[in-house]
């Protein structure tokens, strides 16, 4: 038995139909030899909850199933998963990261990884992909936060693999079945499970999916550093995985309708949604995604003051950070996801002060369009 959940692990529909929740931190066995064999992974069974537990395994195997990869390793947050990705022993050499990443990921790279001797170089995932030699890991996000740019995963995978590097993708903005990045050439997929996988704004978690060889190194790192997802939260996100495909497709369909409506609305300066023909990555999104996601960003006239005026009038859409829940929420990237990013870097990335990021939930289209219309007509 692997210490993490694998594709095909899901129990046949006999016995309990919900995942098993064991809050136990430790598990007893019948003899010294039995305990030794379970601890060494030679015999199936639970050992110590920092090494794995039933609810984490249920969540991990559901992620592996949805992503179509060998298995998955879960963590206490998306940031803990990224920390493991960058620090686990996955080869030698520097890491190359895309310039367009979640602000928290950039902050960890700048403030923490550098202190531990991990060399990180940046590259433009939409440019000529000039990567240094001896790079061990190439990391991108798609769609990107907050402008929903879609990186051509197969193109980056080809270049990364030619350098002997692994490719990891933060796919938090579009979960399966909207995209399956491992089928496009990525070696590892990462999610903040806090977002779509959990889906109900009630659980913080993270996960890395991929092939057994890399997952063994990542699970060893998790065991040594202790960042595993706890049982109660793992149970919640395992339960949520059962409705992921339905939620994701419905939310993306509503987002597409709202994006088209916003694009024709007076007072909206720009709409960033990869399902719109004018989006720079429309063709890539069409090729590599089933649907272009349920995240969209729009820019109103009047900069930050204009955006805040519209934002403060929302009655249905929640004013909160985060994304991916069944309830629609909006944030101003300037104050939330990208508050940690220096102004010059924000300007270079095209993150305008008047940007509003909308995570479209499961409310009816008419309800959300009504809330936006009333707020924009202020």
Contact by Cβ (8 Å): 61, 193: no
**Residue 78 interacts with ligand PLP (CB under 6 A): yes or no:** yes
- 206 forms part of the interface with ligand PLP (CB under 6 A): yes
Residue with tokens 């890539």: 284
In whole angstroms, how close is the CB of 323 to ligand PLP at the nearest point? Answer: 7
Does the annotation count 242 as an active-site position? no
Q: Does 291 bind ligand PLP (CB under 6 A)?
A: no
Nearer to ligand PLP, 192 or 375 (CB): 192
Active-site hit among 195, 222, 239, 247: 195
Residue 46 or 60 with smaller CB distance to ligand PLP: 60
204 binds ligand PLP (CB under 6 A): yes
Nearest-Å Rg of the Cα atoms of the chain is: 21
71 or 206, CB closer to ligand PLP?
206
| Interface of this chain with ligand PLP, residues 19 to 38, rule: CB under 6 A | none
60 sits near ligand PLP (criterion: CB under 6 A)? no
* CB 226, CB 210: distance < 8 Å: no
Considering the complex, state which of residue 173 and residue 298 has its C-beta at the smaller distance from ligand PLP. Answer: 173
To the query of whether residue 170 is one of the catalytic residues in this protein, the response is yes
Q: Residues 4, 51, 102, 273: which is the catalytic one? A: 102
Q: What residues from 94 to 113 belong to the interface with ligand PLP (CB under 6 A)? A: 102, 104
**Binding of residue 172 to ligand PLP (CB under 6 A):** yes
CA dihedral of 189, 193, 198, 199, whole degrees rounded to 10: -80
Long-range contact list for 60-63, CB < 8 A, 24+ apart? 60/4, 60/5, 60/6, 60/207, 61/5, 61/6, 61/7, 61/8, 61/9, 61/10, 62/5, 62/10, 62/238, 62/241, 62/242, 63/5, 63/191, 63/197, 63/207, 63/209, 63/241
Q: Is 5 helix (H, G, I), strand (E, B) or coil?
A: strand
By the 8 A CB rule, do 56 and 85 touch?
no
Interface positions with ligand PLP (CB under 6 A): 77-79, 102, 104, 141, 145, 170, 172-173, 192, 194, 204, 206
Active-site positions read 50, 102, 170, 195
């Amino acid at each position: 038995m692997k210490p993490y959940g694998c594709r095909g692990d899901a129990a046949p529909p006999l016995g309990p139909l919900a995942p098993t929740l064991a809050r136990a931190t430790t598990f007893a066995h019948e003899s010294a030899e039995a305990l030794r064999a379970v601890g060494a992974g030679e015999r199936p069974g639970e050992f110590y909850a920092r090494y794995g537990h039933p609810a984490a395994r249920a969540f991990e195997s559901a992620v592996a199933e949805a992503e179509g990869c060998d298995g998955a390793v879960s963590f206490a947050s998306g940031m803990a998963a990224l920390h493991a990705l960058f620090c686990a022993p996955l080869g030698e050499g520097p890491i190359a990261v895309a310039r367009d990443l979640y602000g928290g990921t950039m902050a960890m790279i700048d403030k923490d990884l550098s202190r531990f001797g991990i060399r990180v170089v940046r590259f433009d995932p939409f440019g000529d992909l000039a990567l240094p030699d001896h790079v061990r890991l190439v990391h991108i996000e798609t769609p990107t936060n907050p402008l929903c740019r879609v990186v051509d995963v197969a193109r980056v995978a080809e270049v990364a693999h030619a350098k002997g590097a692994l490719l990891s993708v933060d796919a938090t903005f579009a979960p399966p079945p909207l995209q399956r990045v491992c089928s496009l050439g990525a070696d590892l997929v990462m999610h903040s499970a806090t977002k779509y996988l959990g889906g109900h704004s009630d659980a913080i978690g993270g996960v890395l999916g991929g092939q057994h060889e890399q997952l063994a190194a990542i699970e060893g790192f998790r065991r040594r550093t202790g960042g595993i997802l706890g049982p109660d939260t793992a149970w919640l996100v395992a339960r949520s995985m059962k409705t992921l495909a339905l939620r994701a497709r419905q939310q993306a369909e509503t987002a597409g309708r709202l994006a088209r409506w916003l694009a024709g609305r007076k007072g909206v300066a720009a709409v960033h949604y990869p399902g719109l023909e004018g989006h720079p990555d429309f063709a890539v999104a069409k090729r590599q995604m089933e649907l272009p996601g349920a995240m969209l960003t729009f820019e109103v006239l009047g900069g930050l003051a204009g955006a805040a005026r519209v934002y403060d009038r929302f009655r249905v859409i929640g004013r909160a950070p985060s994304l991916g829940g069944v309830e629609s929420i909006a944030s101003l990237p300037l104050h939330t996801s990208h508050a940690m990013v220096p102004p010059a870097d924000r300007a270079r990335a095209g993150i305008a002060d008047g940007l509003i990021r909308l995570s479209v939930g499961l409310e009816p289209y008419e309800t959300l369009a009504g809330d936006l219309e009333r707020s924009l007509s202020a």
